Amino acid sequence: MCGIIGYIGGKQAAPVLIDGLKRMEYRGYDSAGIALINDDGKVDLRKRKGRVSVMASEIEADRFPAHMGIGHTRWATHGGVTDANAHPHTSSCGRFIMVHNGIIENYENMRSFLAGKGYTFSSETDSEALVNLISYHYDERTVDGAADRFMESVRKALLHVEGTYGIAVISPLYPNEIIVARKGSPLLIGIGNGERLVASDVSGFAGRAQNVIYLEDGQLACVKKDFCDIITNGKQEVECVIKEIDWELETAELGSYRHFMQKEIFEQRKAIENAIRGRISDDMSTAILSGLNMSANELRQIDRILFCACGTAWHACLVAEYLIEKYARIPVEVEYASEFRYSNPPLDKNTLVFVISQSGETIDTLEALREAKRKGFKTLAITNVVGSTIARESDGGLYQYSGKEVGVASTKAFTSQIVICLLIALYFGRMRDLSFSDGREIVEAIKSLPDLIDETLKQAPKVEQIAKKYAKYPDFLFLGRLEEYPIALEGALKLKEISYIHAEGYPAAEMKHGPIALVCPECPTVIFANSGEIFHKVISNAKEIGARNGPVIMITDSPESIDEGLADDIIAIPKSHSSVRTVLSTIPIQMLAYYIAVARGCDVDKPRNLAKSVTVE
Ligand code: G6P
């Protein structure tokens, strides 16, 4: 989703801004631009639809002497993907230049008010209304005092905004400052040596800042090259809380891999090891989850758990439901974060609310968390990004430590989330009915996972062959039962996301109630058939598909039990304890989606229309 960058300091700003924008490309965007203010107050502004490289190729960044400026990658919301709609936007008087992430819901009212005052617009965006409203407050002198008249104009304008924003504003009248503000969309201030950066995500700082200030909702900052002042939108002064950036956590290089998604699939052993590290008790029978910040007594009072998330993280919640209900016998409900916020479901007083978000910035998930907090519930979070808004605002939680995930399609973060949910199931289970020996069995299963993941990854060449065979097919079905039903959903989502093939996931037996109508030689079905009590039921479903000439791709831990001719293609996964099997079942569907997308020539890491971190509702 939109990326914001800003620089003020002693270096040439343009190369820093372009580098920062490139580092944030993974967030997903469709156009890019920068605006620079030279020391003499002259403004240079370039913006283009398409990749950052398109915009950058049209300018020789080194030629621009300016030492301050702002930049943006836009993910279109209001108005099509055009040069005119790309950011930065300038007020019609030319004195204020702004980049914006978020949605201004009342922009039409703003525009008609401003049009009545003679302001003009050159884009269809909501953002352009705001930069003109800033200009209006500046000109109308609704602001008092001369020294901070620029910041006051921004503050006054923001008081009229309904919606969300992360903004950075510059003006040739104030060549030594960048005004930033946030409500709902992330905004960080990076502190370098005699220079300051602003960005919507740490990666935009590209190693140039050693420390960071996370702006909170409702705060504005005036950023200068060697200090910054922060106030609330109610004009209260705010003390800067400076945090050190752990660049080891924030850096990801492609190395010998072709795509980040491929790299991240192959990093799952390490990601799972990190998720488990330090979280197993010495007697190997339960988990240690001190990050939950709740006493054993408080945890015993929990009668129900609600999970909220979006996208792939929502699928992790569904796996959590199976695991926690099975091992801890606590009823679990799963809601789409976006639905929870507005559906206002009744919740028992002893409900614990968990949100899961790789980025920790997804606005719907963040708002679900805030809604639960507002109602007085204890809210916990599972996130991968240290210091993210969700991590900061939850009462406690568990970091994934998966390492930076760059590919838009989430892979290692998903399997890490599953493992953390299994640790939660184990922990709650051992506080209730799960015996010491059952606990130890699960711990052993968890500890065996890294090796089993390596074994599963050895199937890559086979999956690649299968992918080439089916890459041109227009529709896919994914079927699984019990905890593999969410993995079927995830398989369908992965394929849609990066290869643009229509795909649907269903509980295997439910297939007869509609989706079977799709079965034909052009619609392959990926079906999970793993050992256990429902193995034979799933085999029957596979036969029903075969009888209708639908190609069957079977993912199974029991290839030896599959009759000749039942499946067109088999991907074998190692045998494992049922508590950890979803992790292994997931890997083939990730690889299948990846290799199909590659075979179709798709831009795997930057799929069309998608964003890594969705910061608008
Ligand atoms: C976007 C991404 C998905 C991700 C979802 C939730 O849609 O493309 O891959 O699963 O957001 O993201 P989160 O960061 O909250 O896990």
Instruction: Dump pLDDT digits (tens) for 15-26.
Output: 999 999 999 988
Same domain, 239 and 189: yes
Gap between the terminal Cα atoms of the chain: 11
Residue 509, token pair as written in the block:
């037996």
Q: Give the C-alpha separation, 134 to 90, whole Å.
A: 11
Domain span including residue 337 = 252-457
CB atoms within 10 A of CB 278: 8
- More confidently predicted of 250 and 429: 429
Instruction: Report CA-CA distances (Å) from 465 to 238, 267, 409, 549, 555.
Output: 58, 21, 21, 21, 15
Place of tokens 């619609």: 523
- Residue 348 sits at φ, ψ, to 5 deg, of -65, 155
Same domain, 348 and 424: yes
Judge whether residue 146 has pLDDT over 70.
no
* Residue of 362, 369, 418 best suited for mutating to test ligand 1, as the one with most atoms within 8 Å of CB: 362
Same domain, 500 and 422: no
Q: Give the C-alpha separation, 342 to 198, whole Å.
A: 33
C-alpha 434 to ligand 1 mean position (Å): 33
Q: How far is CA 615 from the centre of its chain?
A: 9
Quickly state the pLDDT bin for 148 (edges 50, 70, 90): confident
Asked whether residue 616 is assigned to any structural domain, the reply reads: no
Query: Is the beta carbon of 416 within 6 A of some atom in ligand 1?
Result: no
Q: Give the C-alpha separation, 527 to 480, whole Å.
A: 6
- Nearest atom in ligand 1 to the alpha carbon of residue 309 is 15
Write down the pTM of the prediction. 0.89
C-alpha 496 to ligand 1 mean position (Å): 14
C-alpha 337 to ligand 1 mean position (Å): 12
Query: Is the beta carbon of 408 within 6 A of some atom in ligand 1?
Result: yes
pLDDT number for residue 105:
93
Number of domains within the chain: 3
- Collapsed DSSP state (helix, strand, coil) of residue 476: strand
Q: Give the C-alpha separation, 147 to 125, whole Å.
A: 31
Quickly state the pLDDT bin for 582 (edges 50, 70, 90): very high
Q: Is 2 labeled as catalytic in the residue annotation?
A: yes
Judge whether residue 259 has pLDDT over 80.
yes
| Average pLDDT value for residue range 375-400 | 94
- CA-closest candidate to residue 149, choices 110, 119, 189, 179: 179
* Residue 160 DSSP code: T
What single letter denotes the amino acid at residue 44?
Answer: D
Quickly state the pLDDT bin for 485 (edges 50, 70, 90): very high
Burial of 89 (0-12, 13-18, 19+ CB in 10 A): buried
Same domain, 59 and 198: yes
Query: Is the beta carbon of 489 within 6 A of some atom in ligand 1?
Result: no
Place of tokens 């609704």: 142
C-alpha 388 to ligand 1 mean position (Å): 14
Asked whether residue 609 is assigned to any structural domain, the reply reads: no
Q: What is the CATH number of the domain that holds 207?
A: 3.60.20.10
Same domain, 448 and 464: no
Quickly state the pLDDT bin for 142 (edges 50, 70, 90): low
Same domain, 288 and 331: yes
What single letter denotes the amino acid at residue 213?
Answer: I
Asked whether residue 608 is assigned to any structural domain, the reply reads: no
With beta carbons less than 8 A apart as the criterion, state whether 288 and 281 touch: yes
Strands 43-49 and 68-74: unpaired
Asked whether residue 99 is assigned to any structural domain, the reply reads: yes
Question: For residue range 207-221, what is the model confidence (pLDDT) as tens digits?
Answer: 899 999 999 999 999
pLDDT number for residue 144:
56
- More confidently predicted of 330 and 2: 330
* Residue 488 DSSP code: H
Q: What percent of the chain has pLDDT over 90?
A: 85
Q: Give the C-alpha separation, 372 to 411, whole Å.
A: 28
Same domain, 375 and 228: no
Q: Give the C-alpha separation, 46 to 17, whole Å.
A: 12
With beta carbons less than 8 A apart as the criterion, state whether 569 and 250 touch: no
pLDDT number for residue 145:
56
C-alpha 312 to ligand 1 mean position (Å): 6
Residue 87, token pair as written in the block:
């950011």
Q: DSSP letters along 132-148, please?
A: HHHHHHHHHT-S--STT
With beta carbons less than 8 A apart as the criterion, state whether 135 and 160 touch: no
Question: For residue range 94-104, what is the model confidence (pLDDT) as tens digits?
Answer: 999 999 999 99
With beta carbons less than 8 A apart as the criterion, state whether 311 and 405 touch: no
Quickly state the pLDDT bin for 265 (edges 50, 70, 90): very high
With beta carbons less than 8 A apart as the criterion, state whether 209 and 198 touch: no
- Collapsed DSSP state (helix, strand, coil) of residue 244: strand
| Average pLDDT value for residue range 523-535 | 95
Asked whether residue 613 is assigned to any structural domain, the reply reads: no
- Nearest atom in ligand 1 to the alpha carbon of residue 611 is 8
CA angle 92, 98, 101 (to 5 degrees): 130
Residue identifier of the C-alpha nearest atom 1 of ligand 1: 612
Q: DSSP letters along 489-501, please?
A: HHHHHHHHHHH--
Residue identifier of the C-alpha nearest atom 15 of ligand 1: 357
Quickly state the pLDDT bin for 141 (edges 50, 70, 90): low
Query: Is the beta carbon of 311 within 6 A of some atom in ligand 1?
Result: yes
Query: Is the beta carbon of 431 within 6 A of some atom in ligand 1?
Result: no
State the number of CA atoms in the 13 A half-sphere of 10 facing the CB: 4
Q: Among the three residues 397, 428, 457, which one is the final residue of a domain in this structure? A: 457
pLDDT number for residue 596:
98
Same domain, 445 and 478: no
Query: Is the beta carbon of 614 within 6 A of some atom in ligand 1?
Result: yes
Question: For residue range 430-474, what is the model confidence (pLDDT) as tens digits?
Answer: 999 899 999 999 999 999 999 999 999 999 999 999 999 999 999
Same domain, 90 and 131: yes
pLDDT number for residue 139:
85
Judge whether residue 143 has pLDDT over 60.
no
Residue identifier of the C-alpha nearest atom 4 of ligand 1: 311
C-alpha 612 to ligand 1 mean position (Å): 6
Q: DSSP letters along 245-278, please?
A: --HHHH----TT-S-HHHHHHHTHHHHHHHHHTT
Residue 84, token pair as written in the block:
């005119």
Same domain, 487 and 414: no
- CA-closest candidate to residue 551, choices 495, 477, 486, 463: 477
Judge whether residue 258 has pLDDT over 70.
yes
Query: Is the beta carbon of 615 within 6 A of some atom in ligand 1?
Result: no
Place of tokens 């409702």: 218
Judge whether residue 566 has pLDDT over 90.
yes
What's the CA dihedral at 415, 417, 423, 428 to 10 degrees? -140
pLDDT number for residue 560:
95
Asked whether residue 617 is assigned to any structural domain, the reply reads: no
| Average pLDDT value for residue range 587-592 | 98
- Residue 178 sits at φ, ψ, to 5 deg, of -120, 130
Same domain, 138 and 226: yes
Q: Among the three residues 196, 229, 247, which one is the final residue of a domain in this structure? A: 247
pLDDT number for residue 615:
79
Quickly state the pLDDT bin for 393 (edges 50, 70, 90): very high
Q: Which of 42-56, 251-265, 319-333 has the highest mean pLDDT?
A: 319-333
Same domain, 386 and 416: yes
CA angle 104, 110, 113 (to 5 degrees): 175
pLDDT number for residue 147:
67
- Residue 112 sits at φ, ψ, to 5 deg, of -70, -35
- Residue 152 sits at φ, ψ, to 5 deg, of -65, -35
Query: Is the beta carbon of 359 within 6 A of some atom in ligand 1?
Result: yes
Q: Among the three residues 414, 430, 457, which one is the final residue of a domain in this structure? A: 457
Q: What is the CATH number of the domain that holds 491?
A: 3.40.50.10490
Judge whether residue 284 has pLDDT over 90.
yes
Active-site entry in 49, 263, 404, 612: 612
Q: Is 469 labeled as catalytic in the residue annotation?
A: no
The total number of residues written for the chain in this structure: 617
Judge whether residue 226 has pLDDT over 60.
yes
pLDDT number for residue 486:
98
Query: Is the beta carbon of 610 within 6 A of some atom in ligand 1?
Result: yes
Q: Give the C-alpha separation, 308 to 316, whole Å.
A: 10
Q: Which residues contact 399 (CB under 8 A, 6 or more apart)?
A: 291, 383, 384, 386, 391
Q: What's the sign of the alpha-carbon dihedral 559, 560, 563, 569?
A: positive
